[in-house]
Amino acid sequence: MARVELEIARGVATVTLNRPERHNAFNEELIEGLIATLQRIEGDDAARILLLRAAGKSFSAGADLDWMRRMAAYDEAENLADAKRLALLLQLLNFMPKPTIAAVQGAALGGGVGLVAACDIVVASPVAMFGLTEVRIGLIPAVISPYVVQAIGERAARRYFLTGERFDAATALALGLVTEVAEDLSAAAARFIEGLEAGAPEAQAAAKKVIRRVGRGPINSAMIDDTAERIARMRAHPEAREGIAAFFEKRKPNWQG
C-alpha cells in the first residue's frame, strides 16, 4: 500500500498521507514518498495547486516510534543524514512555487506541525490539535523550526517549544499557524482553491518569492530597488499582458480555461 497517494485532477494535486494505522507518523518510507511526490508536482504543468491532506483521524503524529528507536541507535553521522532528508522534504514544500493548502482534520504533532507551517494556507477542523512536544522526550523541534518560528513568531515559539504543551485549532488560528477553522474541511479547501485558480500561475510563484524576500527585511534601498525590478519584470511578462487584456475585454484570462 502506498504511504503517500497522489491524484491530479482539474489542476489540483491532492497529496494524501496514508498511514492511518500509525496516525500518519513519519518514517523513512513516508519521508521519501513525500519527497518524490513533491518533486513530481513541482515539475508537472498539469498541477497548479497542491492540497495536502491525511487519511484517518490524525493529520500526523510526528515521528514514528519504531523510527525513533532506530534513530536512537544511530551515530551522529547517521542521524545527520536522516535529519537532512526531513529537511529536504520541508524545504521542497516551503519553496514549492505553486500554492499549497493543508487540510488538518486531527492531531498534528512535531513534524506534522512542520508540514502545516510550510504550507501557504491551512484549514483546520475545530477538533484539530497541535503540539511541539519534542522536549518531553529529550529532543528539540530543530528541522521544522525555521518554518514554525516564521509562522507563529519567536515569542510563541519560546512558549510551545519549551513547554511541549498541546494547543487547539482556535489557538493555532490566533497564532497564525492556521488560516481558517472550518467544520467542513473539503468545502473550505474548495473555496480557497477556487480563489487560487483565479490567479496567474507565474504571478503566484513570483508573489511567493517576493514574500520571502521582504519578510527578511529591512526596508532599505536594496529592498526597494529589488521590489521595483520584480514588478517591472512581471509587467513585461506575457501572463500580465494576457491578464490586462482579459480585464479590458471582460473575459476570463487563459489560465482560467
For every residue of 196-232, DSSP letters joined together read HHTS-HHHHHHHHHHHHHHHT---SHHHHHHHHHHHH
134 is catalytic: yes
Helix, strand, coil percentages in the chain from 3-state DSSP, rounded to 5: 55, 15, 30
Exposed/middle/buried for 203, CB within 10 Å: 0-12, 13-18, 19+?
Answer: middle
Exposed/middle/buried for 191, CB within 10 Å: 0-12, 13-18, 19+?
Answer: middle
Find out whether 243 and 251 touch, Cβ atoms under 8 Å: no
17-54: burial string, b at 16+ Cβ within 10 Å, e else: bbbeebbbbbbeebbebbbebbeebeeeeebbbbbbbb
Which of 21, 78, 134, 194 is the catalytic position? Answer: 134
Residues labelled as active-site residues: 134
